[in-house]
Structure 1
Amino acid sequence: MTSPPTLWKSGFSCPNCGVEAHQSWFNCYAANRAPSRSDIHKQQPSPTSDAAFGMTPRVTLGTPSPNIHSQGNIPVQNISISKCYSCSEAAIWIGTRLIWPKFTPDIKPHIYMPPAIKADFVEACSILQLSPRGAAALVRVALEKLINHLVGEAVKPNDGIQTLVDRGMPERVQKMCDAVRIITNDSVHLGTINSNDDLASATKLFHLVNAIVDQTIGLDILADEIYGELPHDKIQFVENRKRGAARKSAASINTGK
């Protein structure tokens, strides 16, 4: 599982090259600033400055010049730059949000996820960076559709989860369903997930939904596929064993044993 870009984290999946790599962090300094009323003398660009040659002022990585009289030492607040060890490309952050390049988490829907649920899953993933709260709302829609799919009818998420538990759904799957239900509900109605949160917390919701699909749909399909490839006589032997066990159980009930 790769980790999404997160402010000041020492390593994550690079938004430029996609490699999970170490990241170096830099503050941003201005090459110049707009004149203010406190300026006594009008600032003139030096003959060697970018402005003198009609060039756009550059933003470079690293420590600024120690010349305290240079306006290149002016720190730009709330802007950070990360540099990938693998590709040496930079990423620009404003506050806690990655602004450039655009990052779409590489989270693929489970291969056996029903199409209607997959559409919401993919759309949620596409807006995760820009709106974690909006992504959480779509994940909740996907969970509701998944529960309805498993139950076989439209139900409230809480009631649907209990129905599945009554039908024998493992406790670990119940915990995953309730975790997604509670987190997404709180994020939508209480605003506990917002644009200032790192992507790691919101990304876990997608992995949980994939895990629920795997445990409730994927394993059944895989088991049926493998079982169906067994020799017919072996399958018949197993079916006879099951029928024999059922008759024995029924006889025990009838005799009160």
Structure 2
Amino acid sequence: MGGLIRSWPMQTHYSVPEFNKTAFNCPHCGAFAEQKWSELRCDIFAHQNDWELGRTLELLKNKGYSELDAAHMRYEQAGGIFAAICAHCKKYSYWLERKMLWPAASTIEMPNPDMPEECQKLYMEARIIAGQSPRAAAALLRLCVEKFILALGGTEKKLADGIQALIDNGKISQAEQEYLHICRLIGNDAVHPREISLSDSPEIVLPLFRFLNILVQRTISAEKERSNFIAGLPSNIQQKITAHKEAGAADWDK
């Protein structure tokens, strides 16, 4: 079965679990893997003992039903419930009316689409396991913060130093610095528990997902929107903006 996982093309984005999809990121293990689907059926003769079951099948045979007909009569469809088994972890997800019943869909928001790809992967891993292991999720989010700082031009030194470098370079505000330090400190305690017991207070981890999305919005998304807006301005205004940037002029009326 492992070969089936390796045979899929290289995956670069998170693939959302969807009904009847042949492959997606498993809601249990997070791996991108083949999903084999089957419709659940129930045994309507399950309440019978072996002797009673034998008698029932014999009666059906005497009435002219074949063994195949009897099997179809015995196993009825279970109300349109489907199961998909992951080729990687061998765990099932269960679906009704094209919606996943189990495991319960995460209520944690999806990552900002402008989040760097490597950060998105870590975010999604943390999102999948947050309910089962808040500590592991916090550790992954700390790593996500490290990658995010590097994407903004920070250093590969200590995480606290990387955050300070972004402040010094004017890449983030004091408020954004606080968000990053909160993620760093909670992530530190996930790896080396000191003051916070994440097993006792899993709700502490959930806001970190929101913090990261806010950070991406205020930095990458905001800059992207600003650049797109300027690109749509008349050329004479664009030239003035460029000239003032190069001159470092404070007075825009000059």
Distance 2:168 2:154 in 1: 14
1:125-183 deviations in Å (ceiling 9; x for gaps) = 00000000110010011011111221254222111011111112211111111111111
Q: Assess if the C-alpha contact under 8 Å between 2:154 and 2:163 holds in 1.
A: no
Provide the residue aligned with 1:180 in structure 2: 183
Determine the structure 1 residue equivalent to 2:206.
Answer: 203
Letter in 1 for 2:108: D
**1:217 alignment partner in structure 2:** 220
Residues 109 and 210 of structure 1 are in contact (CA less than 8 Å); yes or no, is this contact kept in structure 2?
A: yes
When normalised by structure 2's length, the TM-score is 0.53
Report deviation, 1:103: 4.5
Deviation digits for residues 18-73 of structure 1, max 9, x if unmatched?
Answer: xxxxxxxxxxxxxxxxxxxxxxxxxxxxxxxxxxxx69xxxxxxxxxxxxxxxxxx
Q: Counterpart amino acid of 2:199?
A: S
C-alpha change, 1:132 and 1:103, in structure 2 (3 Å) is farther
Alpha-carbon distance between aligned partners in 1 of 2:141 and 2:122, rounded to the nearest angstrom: 7
Q: Is the 8 A contact 2:134 2:199 kept in 1?
A: yes
Taking only the aligned residue pairs, the percentage that are identical comes to: 32
The one-letter code matched in structure 1 to 2:201 is D
CA RMSD of aligned residues (A): 2.6
Task: Report if the CA contact (8 A) 2:155-2:165 is conserved.
Answer: no
Partner of residue 198, structure 2:
194
Cα drift, residue 184 of structure 1: 1.3
Question: In structure 1, what is the equivalent of residue 19 of structure 2?
Answer: none
Structure 1 residue corresponding to 2:239, chosen from 236, 244, 257 = 236
Q: Is the 8 A contact 1:140 1:180 kept in 2?
A: yes
Shift in Å, 1:242: 4.5
1:81-137: CA deviation from partner (whole Å, max 9, x where unpaired): xxxxxxxxxxxxxxxxxxx76342231101110101110000000000000011001
Following TM superposition, the consecutive aligned residue runs of length 4 or more in structure 1 with deviations greater than 6 angstroms are none
Structure 1 residues 202-211 or 144-153, which shifts more?
144-153
1-side partners of 2:158 and 2:219: how far apart?
18
Distance between the aligned counterparts of 1:114 and 1:134, measured in 2? 21
Give yes or no for contact 1:120–1:138 (8 Å, CA) kept in 2: yes
Change (3 A) 1:234 1:170: same
Distance 1:243 1:139, change over 3 A: closer
CA contact (8 A) 2:154 2:162 kept: no
* Residue 83 (structure 1) aligns with: none
Residue of structure 2 in register with 1:19 after alignment: none
The answer to whether the 8 Å contact 1:130/1:195 transfers is no
Unpaired segments ≥5 residues, structure 1: 1-53, 56-99, 249-257
Gaps of 5+ in 2: 1-46, 49-101
Greater relative CO, 1 or 2 (CA 8 Å, sep 6+): 1
TM-score, with length taken from structure 1: 0.53
Question: Judging changes above 3 Å, is the alpha-carbon distance between structure 1 residues 244 and 114 closer, same or farther for their aligned structure 2 residues?
Answer: closer
